[in-house]
A and B are shown apart, each in its own frame.
Chain A
């Protein structure tokens, strides 16, 4: 997946600012959508869409900070860039604590803004891929039988086939059979790959 499918969601109540940001972002061929309020954005956002959020921290109704909390609640993990007026340190700190990846002060340098936006987009893609990978591994693990799952846990813990057989009270041959089925179901080429997968979802 590349950044070309991602969208920048601009949420700012100021029409002039919104219009300028859209023009600027569109000028580097990144798709962009703009919303006048946090609520408008929440109402039209379809879960699973990729991209990043360019958000003014001060808005009537729901503030930027409250929107961040709402995104958390809905498990939407779009990277958030906060736009603020005069560097209000406390505001920036709160935003970062709430999970913003970046904050930019108005007025800003166009280059800087675009650079940050792109960084956020690729970061968004990365986290999104990672999340998708984890979900795939979880799916595969869910397909294992209870016995295969026990074998998998022992193998990852470093037990030999013989050790596993003794621990589970079954024959070594049966362990070998389970183990090869686990490798197959988890699409793992080697023991190292298997360990990496499991630690990615459990870590």
Chain B
């Protein structure tokens, strides 16, 4: 918005400055005129002086340059000049008069002290003496000594005037000091009055203008506000109109998009339908040529389709089985609970996988790996079951063969390690036998010598009975350790398994002057394993350990068996303090027939590793100088949750 007041104030300031400039110029003009006037007066005075006194003193002035200032002051001419000058200047505002010769020497001054001064360098003097032109200037003096004595606060016009001779050349310079104070005061007064007048007029004008300008600005402001308000209303109206237009456009776009989409969908549906038909053709060809047997049944289990591979394997054609249930394939070898689990899984909409032992049309038995999954329609409703099966009879036979081979090897390992431990076993059995035999002799002696008190005999017989049980247990352990039977995987507590074999281990350690410490972790999770095979691995590692210590370690020879739960496994560590094993042997020693002993076949560690790996674990060794060798093996923790 245009700022009237500010603009007005600025303009006023400019006007005031202009007035000040005019006043200053005016005053300057007045002063110049004053000086001019004073100079003219002085020139007239000079002329009269020249006419009156110059003929009398010109020779004195022109010769004065020969004299010293003291001499000049003392000359009678000086006093004469004073009298004349005083006479001439009487009634005039002349305060002082000086006379110079052409060399600038002050020949006369109404102030005697100044006589003899040299003014040749003064620019005013120079103008008058050399160029013959008068020069004047206005000066202000605080105090000034005049004819009448000292005067104060005077404005003076000093004029250097050339004194003309008869032939027109300059003969000297005359300097009168004219008092112009009253005139100058007059000028000041005039100027002041003029300024006052200007200001008064201006102030009146200023006030009137200021008021009217302010009023105008106020009016403009209120109009401006009004316009703004109207603008806002207008803009709002425009916005509403624009929005309406945008909505209209949007609706049009939407319509276009829907039309486009519908067209696209239609195209896609057509393509999909073609694709689906193509896929269905491909799938049915795939099913027909599939190396897996495929059966489709309705929800009641009635067969609707079997593929050619099914006929190849079982001998049943589609006509044979159409409308019948897969029960015709049952051999009676698969336990009924498997079928129950199968049905409960697939009827609840999940996939079932498992192995079934079935019968062919020609009555031969075969194994299949089966996967049965429910088929649902678009709405998720069960409509059919799809069975896919693979004949795994040969694979199972090979697996059985491998397992049997492994079991035999393990059994061989157990028998041979027990063979290696025969001495210590004999010793272990010898202990109870010693007591039994001793007790029997003791009782016999007592009875024969008739000294036997029943309580003595009772104690001995009790000892004998205890030791007979002990011997019996040893024999049982040994027998179960070396019996040949299919390994039985079940959930076992590793600690219990180790404790069960500890008698055997201790007797073996004892035979090698070693001791065994069990550091079994509490609350171990169960593992799924065959306990005899786990014992076999432990026995093997312990037997190796005590043998190594007997060869190389000083007393006390301690072998430590530790168990710990670690990352979903149970880890069993068997540590011996025997000599370290070279790094290159740490893995090599698990190979068959690797041995450093004079006895044994070198199969123990190899068999142990096979056993552990068959359980899904691993077996390794670490060894370091000074701390002996540690064998570790892991067994996966039993999966107790949510098995199908």
A residues neighboring B (CB under 8 Å): 13-14, 16-17, 19-20, 23-24, 27, 39, 58-63, 66, 85-86, 106-111
Given the complex of chains A and B, what is the CA–CA distance between A14 and B430 in angstroms? 11
Give 13 A-B pairs besides A20-B463, A60-B514 with Cβ atoms closer than 8 angstroms.
A16-B463, A16-B467, A20-B435, A23-B442, A24-B438, A58-B510, A59-B513, A60-B515, A61-B558, A66-B513, A106-B430, A108-B438, A110-B441
A134 to chain B, nearest CB (A): 33
Nearest-CB residue, chain A, relative to B446:
A27
Q: Which residues of B contact A27 (CB under 8 A)?
A: 442
**Do B555 and A66 touch (CB < 8 A)?**
yes
Nearest-Cβ distance from residue B484 to partner chain A, whole angstroms: 28
A-B contact pairs, 10 of them (CB 8 A): A16-B432, A16-B470, A23-B459, A24-B438, A27-B442, A61-B556, A61-B558, A106-B430, A107-B430, A110-B445
Q: Is the CB of A106 within 8 A of B434?
A: yes
Size of the chain B interface, CB-CB below 8 angstroms: 34
Contact of B427 among A16, A39, A86, A111 (CB under 8 A): A86
Q: Specify which of A16, A62, A110 is in contact with B555 (CB 8 Å cutoff).
A: A62
Closest to B466 in A: A16
Residues on A with beta carbons closer than 8 Å to the beta carbon of B434 = 17, 20, 106-108
The answer to whether the Cβ of B88 comes within 8 Å of any Cβ in the partner chain is no
A85 touching B435, Cβ below 8 Å? no
Note all chain B residues with C-beta closer than 8 A to A14.
431
A63: nearest residue on chain B (CB-CB)? B513
User: Is A107 a contact of B437 with CB atoms below 8 Å?
Assistant: yes
Q: A20-B463, A24-B438, A108-B434 are in contact. Are A62 and B556 (CB under 8 A)?
A: yes
Cα distance A86–B425 in the bound complex, in angstroms = 11
* A16/B510 in contact, CB under 8 A: no
CB distance from B401 to the nearest CB of A (A): 42
Query: A24–B439 Cα gap in the complex (Å)?
Result: 9
Contact of A16 with B445 at beta-carbon distance under 8 Å, contacts A23-B459, A59-B510, A61-B555 already known = no
Contacts of A13 in B (CB 8 A): 510
Of residues A27, A85, A108, which shows the largest number of chain B Cβ atoms within 10 Å of its Cβ?
A85
Assess A60 versus B513: contact at CB under 8 Å? Given A16-B470, A66-B555: yes
Return chain B residues, CB-CB under 8 Å to A108: 434, 437-438
Q: Among the listed A17, A58, A61, which residue makes an inter-chain contact with B435, where contact means beta carbons less than 8 Å apart?
A: A17
Residues in B with CB closer than 8 Å to A60 are 506, 509-510, 513-516, 557
Listed from nearest, the 6 A-B pairs whose CB atoms lie closest are A60-B515, A63-B513, A107-B437, A107-B434, A85-B427, A106-B434
Distance, CA A20 to CA B466, complexed state (A): 12
B515 cross-chain contacts in A, Cβ below 8 A: 60-61
Contact string against A for B residues 430-469, beta-carbon threshold 8 Å, 1 for contact and 0 otherwise: 1111111111011001000000000000011001001100
In whole angstroms, what is the CA distance A63 to B512 when docked? 9
- Does chain A have a CB within 8 A of B426? yes
Which of A23, A85, A111 makes the CB contact (< 8 A) with B430?
A85
User: In chain B, what residue has the closest Cβ to A62?
Assistant: B555
Q: Note all chain A residues with C-beta closer than 8 A to B445.
A: 110-111
Interface string of B184-201 (1 = CB under 8 A from A): 000000000000000000
Closest partner residue, chain B, to A109 (CB atom): B441
Please measure, in the bound complex, the distance between the C-alpha atom of A108 and the C-alpha atom of B510, giving whole angstroms. Answer: 20
B580 interfacial by beta-carbon distance below 8 Å: no
A109 to B441, CA, bound (A): 8
Chain A residues lying within 8 Å of B506, measured Cβ to Cβ, are 60
Q: Name the residue on A nearest B506 (C-beta).
A: A60
Contact yes or no, B510 A20, CB < 8 A: no
Closest to A60 in B: B515
Taking CB atoms, residues of chain B closer than 8 Å to A20 are 434-435, 438-439, 463
Query: Given A20-B463, A62-B555, A86 and B426 touching (CB < 8 A)?
Result: yes
B493 within 8 A of A: no
Are the C-beta atoms of B442 and A17 separated by less than 8 Å?
no
Q: Which residue of B lies closest to A37 (CB)?
A: B515
CA distance A107 to B471 in the complex (A): 14
Of listed B441, B459, B558, residue having the most chain A CB within 10 A: B441
Tell me the complex Cα distance, A58–B463, Å: 22
**Which residues of A are found within 8 Å of B511, using beta-carbon distances?**
58
| Of B431, B442, B463, B516, the contact of A106 (CB 8 Å cutoff) | B431
Query: How far does the Cβ of B390 sit from chain A's closest Cβ, in whole Å?
Result: 57
- Nearest CB of chain B from residue A37's CB, rounded to whole Å: 9
Which residues from 457 to 491 on chain B have a C-beta closer than 8 Å to any C-beta of chain A? 459-460, 463, 466-467, 470
Scan residues 253-274 of chain B and give those whose CB is less than 8 A from a CB of chain A. none
B426 touches A85 (CB 8 A): yes
Q: Which residue on A lies nearest to B451, using beta carbons?
A: A27
CB distance from B334 to the nearest CB of A (A): 53
CB distance from A137 to the nearest CB of B (A): 39
Report chain B residues within 8 Å CB of A23. Answer: 442, 459-460
Report the separation of the CA atoms of residues A17 and B510 in the bound assembly, to the nearest whole angstrom: 15
Q: B431 and A16: CB pair below 8 A?
A: yes
Q: How far is the CB of A105 from chain B (nearest CB, A)?
A: 9
Contacts of B467 in A (CB 8 A): 16
Q: Which residues of B have CB within 8 Å of A63?
A: 513, 555
Q: Which of B544-601 contact A (CB under 8 A)?
A: 555-558
Q: Which partner residue on chain B sits nearest A86 by CB separation? A: B426
Tell me the bound Cα distance from A106 to B426 in angstroms.
11
Q: B442 and A110: CB pair below 8 A?
A: yes
Min C-beta distance of A166 to chain B, whole Å: 61
Would you give the shortest CB distance from B515 to chain A, in whole angstroms?
3
For A85, the chain B residues whose CB sits under 8 A away are: 426-427, 430
Q: Chain A contacts of B426 at CB under 8 A?
A: 85-86
Known: A20-B438, A107-B438, A110-B442. A58 touches B427 (CB 8 A): yes
Bound-complex Cα distance A17 to B438 (A): 9
Residue of A nearest to B433 (CB): A107
Query: For residues 509 through 559 of chain B, which have their beta carbon under 8 Å from a beta carbon of chain A?
Result: 509-511, 513-516, 555-558
Q: How far is the CB of B545 from chain A (nearest CB, A)?
A: 13
Say yes or no: A61 contacts B438, CB within 8 Å: no
Task: Given A60-B509, A61-B556, A61-B557, answer yes or no on A16-B516 (Cβ-Cβ < 8 Å).
Answer: no
Q: How far is the CB of A57 from chain B (nearest CB, A)?
A: 9
Q: State A108–B430 Cα separation when bound (angstroms).
A: 11
Docked complex Cα distance between A106 and B451 (Å): 26
A86 to B435, CA, bound (A): 15
